[in-house]
Structure 1
Amino acid sequence: ADHSAAPATADDPDTALSLSGDGVWQGRGVVDGFDDLLDGLAPDHDYLVAVGYDRLRLPTVLLGPDADAADTPGDVIATGANADDVDLDAVVDALDAAEPWITRETLVRRVEASPRAERSGAIATFTGRVRTRDSPDDNRTTHLAFEKYEGVARDRMDRIADELTDRDGVLDVAMHHRTGVIEAGEDIVFVVVLAGHRPEAFRAVEDGIDRLKDEVPIFKKETTEREEFWLHRRDP
């Protein structure tokens, strides 16, 4: 990432991002944060390499004699004194196995590309997020941590999506549940339904999130300002 571009002038957009001919991203103006940048790029790009960032919750390659994997928020997939010490094939394999950066817009674009989209008149979405507290007197939740049986969880979400898509009027369904540490106020889960009309779209979205919570083996640990605890477990 190259942040050396000149600041925006009065005639420029508030935020400008560009990719130079030699593959360097340049940015100027106001960017809310790196997560927002990733959210904007994710629907249209398969990969992004962020150079010089070590505080992101992303698959990370650490280089240098003082690299500290224990102090890195992302999953460290390789370390080395320099680039020559890194097995690139192993890095590629680790990236392919990593959870992709999925946003609600990613899933909306996915269902919009359905061959059945020309019959649709509605897209309904549900977004679950980390609630800070249930009431004003509750201890503040700082973050949640999610773990799942990866293969089983994906298979069950696919089965739920397929069964909802079999309903009359439902044309396509996409869903995604994030794992790892998710901070207060951040998004956790998305359900997106493409349908002919809004009634079947809304019903499928509600049933989709209810079934995901009931049927997909996901473990959730909550951390508040005072304690941390597992909320529930489901067998695979």
Structure 2
Amino acid sequence: MRPISIVGDGAATLARRLADRLDGRVAVVERDDDPNGAPESDSTRSDPAADGGVVGPAQRSGADTAVAFDADGNWRGRGSVEGFDDLLDGLAPDHDYLLAVGEPRLRVPAVLLGSDPDPERVPGTVVVSATAPDRVDLGDVVADLDSAEPWITRETLVRRAEASPDADRAGAIATFTGRVRARDGPDDDRTTHLAFEKYDGVAEDRMAAIAEELAARDGVFDVRMHHRTGVIEAGEDIVFVVVLAGHRGEAFRTVEDGIDRLKDEVPIFKKEATESETFWVHRRD
């Protein structure tokens, strides 16, 4: 999935135009709060219990998630997540694009609208700045979005592996997830984030070659890899390896070999930021 943040006056209008232009499944996520950032009042929602009715779990005001689903497969709902990144992770496997309207805090490509757009307002790369939605060239936005790094999750790779034509012969899926460790020992300086850089195309080609070689093993049907780049904060996911195999033995061995070869053979450079210093890891090794 390729996400983009659209911020400023007319963001919703531009999102509708862009959604019509994109090919594939598109998710549009809009902020639903007042100008002060507080959630809109839910006081107008009726309470069936007030008239002696039976309240189902999805009708309780305290329900974490409520979904209405019809016979045609259409649904609408409400729920909660810890953060916007969690929402992206949940939508990524089923969508090709996500348009985040009015959400400036994402580390994804961004479009800024308004008479005086401030690039410092967003942590992501600003691909377009314009005074109004009709001043934005949609073709340029689509091109920039398609060339940006996609938002890949472990579940995305699992879904792709499960789509293998040999999936009916597979009895195991093994996965590895690498994440940012805050500290090795209790007295260590806390790592606040890591920043990863790679040569465009080179890392992807090497990972693809490793995956192809591993998938050629007897009993292994599909291997998927992805390494995120940019700034990744403590506790966030960095890298995924997914293996579809006939049995757990082949799956476990291959997923271990996969992450070991990725770390040894793929040219990705890591800068670590702790509470006291910042340094390139390869220069310390």
Assess same fold via TM > 0.5: yes
Give 2:225's aligned amino acid: M
Give the superposition deviation at 1:83: 1.2
CA distance in 2, matches of 1:77, 1:209: 33
Name the residue aligned to 1:175.
225
Please point out which of 187, 190, 194 is paired with 1:137: 187
Describe the shift of the 1:43–1:18 C-alpha distance in structure 2 as closer, same or farther (beyond 3 A).
Answer: farther
Ranked by relative contact order (alpha carbons within 8 Å, sequence separation 6 or more), the top structure is: 2
Describe the shift of the 1:74–1:124 C-alpha distance in structure 2 as closer, same or farther (beyond 3 A).
Answer: same
Matched-pair identity in %: 71
- Contact kept? 2:175, 2:255, Cα under 8 Å: yes
Give 2:104's aligned amino acid: D
Give the superposition deviation at 1:66: 2.9
CA distance in 2, matches of 1:5, 1:89: 39
Name the residue aligned to 1:215.
265
CA distance in 2, matches of 1:98, 1:207: 29
TM-score of the superposed pair, with normalisation by structure 1: 0.90
Residue ranges of structure 2 left out of the alignment (5+ in a row):
1-29, 33-39, 48-54, 70-74
Please point out which of 193, 196, 214 is paired with 1:164: 214
Describe the shift of the 1:154–1:17 C-alpha distance in structure 2 as closer, same or farther (beyond 3 A).
Answer: farther
Describe the shift of the 1:139–1:82 C-alpha distance in structure 2 as closer, same or farther (beyond 3 A).
Answer: same
- Contact kept? 1:143, 1:224, Cα under 8 Å: yes
- Contact kept? 1:146, 1:180, Cα under 8 Å: yes
CA distance in 2, matches of 1:152, 1:215: 11
CA distance in 2, matches of 1:75, 1:2: 21
Computing the radius of gyration from Cα coordinates, the structure with the larger value is 2
CA distance in 2, matches of 1:6, 1:189: 40
- Give the 3-state SS of the residue equivalent to 2:165 in structure 1: coil
Give the superposition deviation at 1:85: 2.1
RMSD over equivalenced CA pairs, Å? 2.1
Describe the shift of the 1:149–1:188 C-alpha distance in structure 2 as closer, same or farther (beyond 3 A).
Answer: same
- Give the 3-state SS of the residue equivalent to 2:93 in structure 1: coil
Tell me if 1:38 matches 2:49: no
Describe the shift of the 1:88–1:5 C-alpha distance in structure 2 as closer, same or farther (beyond 3 A).
Answer: farther
Describe the shift of the 1:211–1:31 C-alpha distance in structure 2 as closer, same or farther (beyond 3 A).
Answer: same
Name the residue aligned to 1:49.
99
CA distance in 2, matches of 1:5, 1:115: 49
Give the superposition deviation at 1:128: 0.2
Name the residue aligned to 2:109.
59
Q: In terms of mean alpha carbon deviation, does 27-36 or 128-137 score higher? A: 27-36
TM-score of the superposed pair, with normalisation by structure 2: 0.75
CA distance in 2, matches of 1:198, 1:2: 43
Give the superposition deviation at 1:5: 8.5
The runs of at least 4 aligned residues of structure 1 exceeding 6 Å deviation read 7-10
Please point out which of 142, 148, 153 is paired with 1:98: 148
Residue ranges of structure 1 left out of the alignment (5+ in a row):
20-24
